[in-house]
Structure formats: C-alpha cells, structure tokens
C-alpha cells in the first residue's frame, strides 16, 4: 500500500498537499495500639485533596520504554438536532417529541474500587520484542475498527467533584482523580444542525485548553461551531478556537474571562513502559468527571483515521464516511444526515490503553499514577464494523496521543496559531507487500528530488525499519513518526539495503498544510 502521507492515492509525500514506572515503596504501618492503652488519640481523617497533595510517594529506579506496533477510532459524543448538552445548551433546532437516548457501556472496565494493599508492588516489565510478525496487522488493516461519534448525547448531569465517602481509606485512584479532575473540562460544540460533547485539558490558569480537532469541528463538519466549556466545579465559559492541527487531530481553545484555573501537569511520555498504570478522565457519553483506570497496553502504535479538518470556507457541510469494507472509521452525526466519501486521512502515533474510553472522552486526559498527563485521548477500536448511526463503545482498546507530541503541537498553536510537521520527501509502501519481501518496514518506492530522503542518501528499494529509534513495520508507522516531529527536525533513520542494515541522519522538510 502506498504511503498516503499527502492523502493522495498515488502515495507521493510532497510539500504541496494540505493536509519507568518502578514499584512505589509501601509506607510503613503504624504500630498497633496496646490493649492497655487508655489515651489513644482519635484516628485522623484524610480528605481526597490532602491525599492528592501528598501523592505520589517516592519512586525508586526507572526503566526504559519499549515500543510495539498499531490501531483505532475517534471519540466524541455527538447528538442530533434538538438534543442538549450536559449544561442544557440546545444542539441545533429543537426536536419535537423524542429525547436523546443515554447509551450505557455494556462493560465498565476496572469498575471495582481498588483497596490499598500492604504488599509492595512489583514492577515487572515484560517486553515483546517480536514486532516483525504482527506489527503490520494494525497499521495495514482496518478490520474491527470504527470511528467514534454517532451516539445520542445525554442530558444527564454529572457530579461536580470527586466523591470520597470514606476519608480513612483513600486509594491511589481517588488521589489521582482528586488532583486531575479540576484540570479536565467538558466541551460542548454546536453547529446549525448538529452538535456534540467532548473533553479538554486545561493548559494555563487563564483558560488555554487542549482538545481534539474533531471535537471543535464536529468531525470536520464545520469550521464555525459555537463552543461552550464547563469546568469540573460547574462554571460555564464561552470559548473561541485559537488554532487547530488536523494533521495530528489536536486543537487549542481559549476560555473567555477565565482566571485561577488548574493547569494539568505534563509527564514525559517517552519514559513510559508497557504495564504502567493509566487513568482516563473526561466526559464519556456526556457524563462529566468520569474516571476509569487501566494500564499502558502498547506503545508506538500507529493508526490511520479520516481527517477532521474544517471546510476551507468555514461553512458547515455533511461529513462523509469512507466506503464500507475499506475503513471502519465513521463520522456519525445522528439521524437524517447524508454522507459522502471521505477523501482525506491522517496517520498518528498513539499510546494504547485498556482504560475504558468511550465517545465523549475525546480530548480528555490520560494520566500516570502521579496524576501527570501522558496522553490526550483520541480514538477507540470496536469489535466490528459500524453502520450509519451505530454506536461504538469501549472494548478495552483505546488510543491517546503521547504527551510529548501534544505538548509541542499545543505550544506551537498558542505561539503561532498553527503547528508544523516534518516531511521526509519519499513515496513509501508496506515492505511486506513487496514481492520477495523478507522483512517488514516501509519500502521506499521513490525519493522525491531535492527532498530530505534523497539528501540523506535514501533511494528506491531501501526498506526503512526504524525512525528516530522507533521500530517501523509499515508505511503508516513511518508517516506517523515523521509527522510527530516539527519541520526542520533531525532524526536517525535505520534502513535495509540489499540485506545490509545502515543508519543515516535526515533533516526533515516542511509539510504544507
């Protein structure tokens, strides 16, 4: 399959196309009171806020991250005309009669609260190094995946704070939630005939918020949505779009007249290990301040989804879906919407997690066990294809844009109104699809004249097997990693030529939006 880095069927990647977690030591237990003690002071209570402030415990040691390979679907909860957001705001013209249906997940992963254990946690990292056999499966196929969105939005109001009834027994998840929930918001976006809810992460105390492009453009249907943001404590703000980055499905919005908000704390996603604890926080199905837990299931996945770029003229249009059988990703805006064929796709590198993620979690936070941001939730995979209007729910396969990528892009948007992306200047295909192939990777079908690949000495027939230290198993992997870097960035490329492995440094060009 050709590398459609520029979303053209011929696969050319040119500049003219728009687009350690280590075991935490267990605190020593207090000495049990003696039977004859007569002046034992009352047991102090512990609020969730105090628990969050005291978290995390000291962490010893570190471990190197380990990669794996690809697959996804977008996720914000959309609603038909006439539905309302959790804040009561109408989505388009009022519907007559019927109310939107609340879609509940059939399985809530990790729903049972975890009790604190006196047994020290053991950080056991099992590394699956064999990417060659199965890595291409997710990046090169679409079976079983469907696009987030399409569920009717609910008017159910959620809690405005983390609820802890037993302050004597606040576990790790409650402490993390108490720290992070104030930094996550619910976003309501409405067009003239459709609307939906998603999530966002607060970047600054004066109201910069990071979310997904598909949340603020209603999956690419409009460039002029009305945006309302509700914080965890119930305050509602109007917001404007600072800039969108459809290439990595990220956007920054700015809340009007906001002060004293609680910014998220960033983590270094390059230091994650498979098996690290994760907590997802957002507004799935329009239910704000929802907390789910899991682990890092895989790192360095690569997924391909339809672009959510807004119409060039800022108008509203029906967002299309790709033909059935070719892609499981769908943009559904409720009943009565006609569809057209999607013509643009994007490739993004993601963290895979089994923390329950559903439509509406899009743009929300994925954090580690210190409450630091490791990813922006963006997509889910479903067990089967989705038909028009069907709802895809959590099956324990969710995807988040790594914080290192999200941090760079969001800062560029705040500074410049847009973000840059690297360009390799090569047309590539899945190496496994080439006759006589002996390895997976990205097969260079053509190196563009004057491009970064040609300047670095790459030629037709080379098979790229790693980019900037990340294994490459197919063309989607390579494109996702190239786009993750800024224009002009330098990266190390490992490739196979005539059975010999070589390494070269490339200076990336600039992708034209």
Distance separating alpha carbons of residues 98 and 9, to the nearest angstrom: 43
State the pLDDT at residue 356.
95
State the pLDDT at residue 121.
31
Residue 305 in contact with residue 329, Cβ under 8 Å?
yes
Q: What is the DSSP letter of 115?
A: P
Indicate the pLDDT class of residue 424, thresholds 50, 70 and 90: very high
Q: Residue 256: pLDDT above 90? A: yes
Would the CA dihedral through 45, 46, 50, 54 be positive or negative? positive
Domain co-membership, 373 together with 409: yes
Number of domains in the chain: 2
Domain co-membership, 307 together with 247: yes
Helix (H) or strand (E) holding 444: strand 442-447
Q: What is the DSSP letter of 30?
A: P
Distance separating alpha carbons of residues 6 and 3, to the nearest angstrom: 8
Give me the mean pLDDT over the 275-286 stretch. 96
Min mean pLDDT across 101-110, 297-306, 314-323, 483-492 is at: 101-110
State the pLDDT at residue 162.
86
CA angle 510, 1, 215 (to 5 degrees): 60
The more confidently predicted of residues 498 and 98 is 498
- Looking at the DSSP bridge assignments, the partners of residue 78 are 196
Give me the mean pLDDT over the 471-475 stretch. 96
Indicate the pLDDT class of residue 53, thresholds 50, 70 and 90: low
Domain co-membership, 334 together with 426: no
Q: Residue 448: pLDDT above 50? A: yes
pTM for this structure?
0.70
Would the CA dihedral through 213, 401, 203, 178 be positive or negative? positive
The verdict on residue 223 lying in a domain is: yes
The verdict on residue 358 lying in a domain is: yes
Domain co-membership, 380 together with 501: no
**Residues whose CB is less than 8 angstroms from the CB of residue 412 and which lie 6 or more positions away in sequence, other chains included:** 418, 419, 420, 486
Helix crossing, 475-484 with 131-140: angle to 10°?
80
Give me the mean pLDDT over the 463-485 stretch. 97
The verdict on residue 166 lying in a domain is: yes
- Residue 308: strand, helix, or coil: coil
State the pLDDT at residue 407.
98
Give me the mean pLDDT over the 498-512 stretch. 95
The verdict on residue 105 lying in a domain is: no
Percent of the chain clearing pLDDT 90 (strictly above): 54
State the pLDDT at residue 194.
83
Q: Residue 451: pLDDT above 70? A: yes
Q: Residue 39: pLDDT above 70? A: no
Domain co-membership, 307 together with 170: yes
Report residue 226 as tokens. 């009305």
Which range marks the domain in which residue 333 is found? 62-95+121-416
Q: Residue 352: pLDDT above 60? A: yes
Of the candidates 186, 309, 307, which has an alpha carbon nearest to the alpha carbon of residue 253? 186
CB atoms inside a 10 Å sphere around CB 177? 28
CA angle 72, 77, 81 (to 5 degrees): 135
Distance separating alpha carbons of residues 82 and 279, to the nearest angstrom: 33
Give me the mean pLDDT over the 452-462 stretch. 97
Q: Residue 247: pLDDT above 70? A: yes
Give me the mean pLDDT over the 429-445 stretch. 94
The verdict on residue 16 lying in a domain is: no
Domain co-membership, 343 together with 373: yes
The verdict on residue 8 lying in a domain is: no
Domain co-membership, 383 together with 452: no
Half-sphere exposure of 31 (CA within 13 A, CB side): 5
Q: Which of 416, 439, 460 is the last residue of a domain?
A: 416
What are the DSSP E strand ranges found in 336-489?
Answer: 345-353, 365-367, 373-380, 398-402, 422-423, 426-430, 442-447, 463-467, 470-471
Q: Which of 399, 416, 433 is the last residue of a domain?
A: 416
pLDDT tens track for 285-335:
999 999 999 999 999 999 998 899 998 765 554 433 222 233 343 332 222
Q: Residue 210: pLDDT above 80? A: yes
Q: Which residues are catalytic?
A: 214, 249, 362
Distance separating alpha carbons of residues 176 and 179, to the nearest angstrom: 5
Domain co-membership, 408 together with 428: no
CA–centroid distance for 453 within its chain: 29
- Residue 300: strand, helix, or coil: strand
Terminal Cα-to-Cα distance of the chain (whole angstroms):
23
pLDDT tens track for 1-31:
333 333 333 333 433 333 333 334 444 444 4
CATH number at residue 458: 2.30.42.10
State the pLDDT at residue 169.
87
Of the candidates 218, 101, 204, 93, which has an alpha carbon nearest to the alpha carbon of residue 148? 218
pLDDT tens track for 160-190:
578 888 888 889 999 999 999 999 999 999 9
Q: Residue 423: pLDDT above 60? A: yes
State the pLDDT at residue 315.
52
Distance separating alpha carbons of residues 66 and 21, to the nearest angstrom: 12
Min mean pLDDT across 65-69, 72-76, 419-423 is at: 65-69
Min mean pLDDT across 34-38, 134-138, 210-214 is at: 134-138
The more confidently predicted of residues 243 and 113 is 243
Distance separating alpha carbons of residues 305 and 147, to the nearest angstrom: 8
Domain co-membership, 426 together with 410: no
CB atoms inside a 10 Å sphere around CB 121? 15
The more confidently predicted of residues 420 and 101 is 420
CB atoms inside a 10 Å sphere around CB 385? 17
State the pLDDT at residue 358.
93
Q: Which of 416, 439, 473 is the last residue of a domain?
A: 416
Domain co-membership, 402 together with 428: no
* Distances, alpha carbon 293 to alpha carbons 41, 118, 177, 250, in Å: 36, 20, 10, 23
Q: Which backbone phi and psi does 227 adopt, to 5 degrees? A: -115, 130
The two beta strands, 509-510 and 422-423, are antiparallel
Domain co-membership, 401 together with 443: no
Min mean pLDDT across 138-152, 349-363, 420-434 is at: 138-152
- Looking at the DSSP bridge assignments, the partners of residue 507 are 490
Domain co-membership, 384 together with 475: no
Distance separating alpha carbons of residues 407 and 484, to the nearest angstrom: 11
Give me the mean pLDDT over the 130-147 stretch. 28
Report residue 36 as tokens. 């004859």
The more confidently predicted of residues 507 and 110 is 507
What is the chain's mean pLDDT, rounded?
Answer: 73
- Burial of 422-437, coded b for 16+ CB within 10 Å and e otherwise, reads bbbbbbbbbbbeeeee
């Amino acid at each position: 399959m050709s590398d459609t880095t520029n979303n053209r069927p011929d696969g050319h990647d040119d500049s003219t196309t728009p687009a350690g977690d280590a075991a935490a030591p267990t605190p020593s237990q207090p000495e049990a009171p003696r039977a004859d003690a007569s002046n034992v002071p009352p047991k102090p209570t512990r609020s969730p806020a105090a628990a969050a402030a005291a978290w995390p415990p000291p962490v010893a040691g570190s471990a190197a991250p380990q990669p794996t390979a690809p697959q996804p679907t977008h996720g914000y909860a959309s609603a038909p005309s006439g539905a309302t957001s959790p804040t009561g705001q109408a989505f388009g013209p009022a519907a007559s009669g019927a109310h939107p249906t609340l879609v509940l997940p059939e399985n809530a992963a990790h729903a049972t609260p975890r009790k604190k254990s006196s047994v020290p946690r053991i950080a056991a990292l099992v590394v699956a190094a064999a990417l060659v056999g199965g890595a291409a499966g997710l990046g090169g196929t679409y079976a079983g995946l469907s696009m987030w969105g399409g569920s009717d939005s609910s008017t159910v109001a959620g809690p405005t704070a983390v609820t802890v009834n037993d302050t004597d027994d606040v576990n790790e998840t409650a402490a993390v939630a108490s720290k992070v929930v104030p930094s996550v918001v619910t976003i309501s976006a409405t067009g003239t005939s459709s609307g939906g809810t998603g999530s966002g992460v607060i970047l600054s105390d004066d109201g910069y918020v990071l979310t997904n492009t598909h949340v603020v453009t209603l999956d690419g249907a409009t460039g002029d949505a009305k945006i309302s943001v509700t914080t965890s404590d119930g305050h509602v703000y109007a917001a404007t779009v600072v800039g969108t980055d459809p290439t990595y499905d990220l956007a920054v919005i700015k809340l009007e007249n906001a002060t004293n908000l609680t910014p998220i704390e960033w983590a270094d996603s390059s230091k994650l290990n498979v098996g690290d604890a994760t907590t997802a926080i957002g507004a799935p199905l329009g239910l704000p301040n929802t907390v789910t837990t899991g682990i890092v299931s895989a790192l360095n996945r690569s997924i391909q989804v339809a672009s959510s770029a807004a119409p060039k003229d800022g108008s509203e249009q029906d967002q299309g879906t790709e033909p059935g059988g070719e892609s499981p990703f769908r943009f559904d805006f409720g009943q009565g919407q006609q569809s057209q064929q999607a013509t643009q796709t994007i490739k993004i590198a993601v963290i895979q997690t089994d923390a329950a993620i559903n439509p509406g979690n899009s743009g929300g936070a994925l954090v580690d066990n210190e409450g630091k941001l490791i990813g922006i939730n963006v997509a889910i995979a479903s067990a089967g294809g989705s038909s028009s209007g069907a709802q895809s729910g959590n099956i324990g396969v969710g995807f988040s844009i790594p914080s290192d990528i999200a941090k760079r892009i969001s800062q560029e948007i705040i500074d410049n109104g847009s973000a840059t992306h690297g360009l390799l200047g090569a047309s590539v295909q899945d190496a496994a699809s080439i006759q006589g192939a002996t390895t997976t990777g990205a097969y260079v079908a053509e190196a563009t004249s004057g491009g970064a690949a040609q300047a670095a000495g790459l030629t037709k027939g080379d098979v790229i097997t790693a980019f900037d230290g990340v294994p490459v198993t197919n063309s989607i992997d390579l494109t996702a990693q190239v786009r993750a870097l800024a224009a002009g960035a330098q990266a190390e490329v490992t490739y196979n030529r005539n059975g010999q492995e070589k390494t070269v440094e490339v200076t990336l060009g600039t992708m034209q939006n």
